[in-house]
Amino acid sequence: MHGLMQAWPLTLDKILDHAKTWHGGVEIVSRSVEGPIVRTTYSEVHERAKRVSNALLELGVEAGDRVATLAWNSARHLETWYGIMGIGAVCHTLNPRLFPEQLCYIVNHAEDRIIFTDLTFLPMLLEHRDKMPTVERFIVLTDEGHVGDTLPGALAYETLIENASSDIPWGGFDENTAAGLCYTSGTTGNPKGVLYSHRSNFIQTLITLGADVLSLRATDVVLPIVPMFHANAWGLAFSAPAVGAKLVMPGPKLDGASVHELIETEGVTFSAAVPTVWQMLLNHLRRTNGKLTRLQRVVIGGAAVPEAIVRAFRDDYGVEVTHSWGMTETSPLGTLATPNPAIAAMSPDDRLRYQLKQGRAPIGIELALVDDDENDLPHDGATFGRLKIRGPCIAGEYYRGEGGRVLDARGFFDTGDVATLDEHGFMQITDRAKDVIKSGGEWISSIEIENIAAGHPKSELAAVIGVAHPKWDERPVLLVKLKDGETATRDEFLQFLDGKIAKWWTPDDVVFVDDIPLGATGKIDKKLLRERIIRSPQSSSP
């Protein structure tokens, strides 16, 4: 027997319809690539997104076609998203931080027909356009006066939509229709495509709005620093319109001064970004004696958050930090470190131990911790195992079947992370499986050492990698990028770690480096670090 409720497909066009109907006058503020701050509203974005839909139909785009965006966070980018998805086409977000060769591979693999792009990327597209044979049109997210002749044949976005009607029905298709395509960062082999459905993204939106997840409200002012090309801006391009929160889009300027300016001038209450962005903001605030007068909550993910960042936000600025974990394959939010009653009752410093973990699973997310033989492991906070996940927003396979079968016999997806789960259900990533350090048959958490070392007052960035050892198989080495003008010794950092980690975890050496490379999603590129260390070992003195 089936229930007798209305059929109401969970399609993403309904989110922007809702924002227009009930929150139409709420502002969306963008720092444009051209420079000025631009203001619009949900009602205006809705109307312009419908013009995008009609323009795409006139260009021959059909349901299921892939339409790419290569752009920063802005209202125009938001319009293209909903304009593409509203007619059943697939919005394919391209990450400009990838190497051009990877971008060309992704465009060709997806068979993108059109690319919407910001001015920033025209030189790269001109150089590589011949390597993208499926692309029929480039549409530049600006007006006619700014397009110029950098990319011959490119269309100006404003001209395109000015000549298009806003009269078009959205939706009307199955909720399992593909909505978005996002490729992994390709740290091991070629990037792989994750194909989101309208249903999966809609459910993810509902999950994120929970009080124990992002807890967004109509009264919030939301600054998604995390890019829209980085796993859907962690869902904020859907969840903010879903509640009618004011959106502040940072465009291409993510330095500390620019971020601080937007936070203060627009009254931002909530923001989300990777740790490196927050470190730049904190450094700027310290240099300028800056204040955070309205900011209440920040979500930090993409990489483990150092304790020093959490303490600085909490103690110096009164801002609540929520640590999160997810990946492209999880739509993306998987866990958040929001307290349960037992943790909430702890002292601030005891509670901090749990804030530094990646947190617990909300409804709709199931986690498993297994050994190499697929046996479930205890949730004791100490036993390391492979982290697996399943749920309605988790990838069931990769686009075009890349990588073959990705689910185990129970339907769980292997995240590639090594983690622990504790008695409160809090998960903590200890390493990527490919980066794990195994010394004398036991695992060492490189991430835990990194987070502590990053809290040293002279450290700007820290990374730990494993190097071969004749007796112990591998031993950890700490790499440190010092703050400008600082000098330090190996012993300073080893003494700083003393008592904070197990003795046998202590790095065999400390190497001071000029740079610690970051990958396309802001995470430390340990593969490149290992290659550099092997290729040109450095002294442990500055």
Domain end marker among 431, 447, 472:
431
Whether residue 520 is contained in a domain is answered as yes
Tell whether 413 and 529 lie within a shared domain: no
Of residues 80, 184, 276, 328, which has the active-site annotation?
184
Does a structural domain hold residue 77?
yes
> Would residue 443 show up in a list of annotated catalytic residues for this protein?
yes
Q: Is residue 336 part of a domain?
A: no
Would you say residue 72 lies in a domain? yes
The total number of structural domains that make up the chain: 3
pLDDT of residue 131: 97
Active-site residue 329, yes or no? yes
Q: Is the domain of 385 the same as that of 519? A: no
Out of 438, 481, 500, 527, the active site residue is 438
Q: Are residues 409 and 467 in the same domain?
A: no
**Phi-psi group of 269: left, alpha or beta (phi > 0 → left; psi -120 to 50 → alpha; rest → beta):** alpha
Whether 131 is catalytic:
no
Please give the single-letter amino acid code of residue 277: V
Last residue of a domain, one of 431, 458, 479: 431
Q: Using one digit for the tens of pLDDT, what is the confidence trace for 52-90?
A: 999 999 999 999 999 999 999 999 999 999 999 999 999
Is 175 assigned a catalytic role?
no
Residue 400 in domain: yes
Q: Do 22 and 144 belong together in one domain?
A: yes
How many CA atoms within 13 Å lie on the side-chain side of 415?
Answer: 30
- Mean pLDDT, contiguous 10-residue spans, the chain (542 residues): 97 98 98 97 98 98 98 98 98 92 95 98 96 98 92 96 97 98 76 96 97 97 96 95 98 97 98 92 96 97 88 97 96 96 96 96 98 96 95 97 93 95 95 77 81 91 88 89 93 94 90 86 76 56 38
Query: What are the tens digits of pLDDT across the range 196-254?
Result: 999 999 999 999 999 999 999 999 999 999 999 988 999 999 999 999 999 999 999 99
**105 plus 56 within the same structural domain:** yes
**Do 21 and 149 reside in the same domain of the chain?**
yes
CATH of the domain at 59: 3.40.50.12780
Query: Do 141 and 26 share a structural domain?
Result: yes
* Residue numbers of the domain that contains 32: 13-200+222-236
Q: Which of 158, 329, 448, 450 is catalytic?
A: 329
pLDDT at 304: 82
Tell me, what's the pLDDT at 448? 84
Q: Are 227 and 105 contained in the same domain? A: yes
Q: Distance between CA atoms of 299 and 289, rounded to whole angstroms?
A: 23
pLDDT of residue 537: 47
Helix or strand holding residue 300 (H, E):
strand 297-300
Residue 488: inside a domain, yes or no?
Answer: yes
The answer to the question of residue 343 being in a domain is: no
Residue 332 domain-assigned (yes or no): no
Same domain, 37 and 111: yes
Q: Which residues in 401-415 are b (16+ Cβ under 10 Å) and which e? A: ebeeebeeeeebbbb
Q: Which two tokens stand for residue 265?
A: 């001038």
Do residues 390 and 465 both lie within one domain?
Answer: no
Q: Active-site residue among 27, 120, 159, 443?
A: 443
Same-domain pairing of 383 and 445? no
In this structure, are 45 and 190 located in the same domain?
A: yes
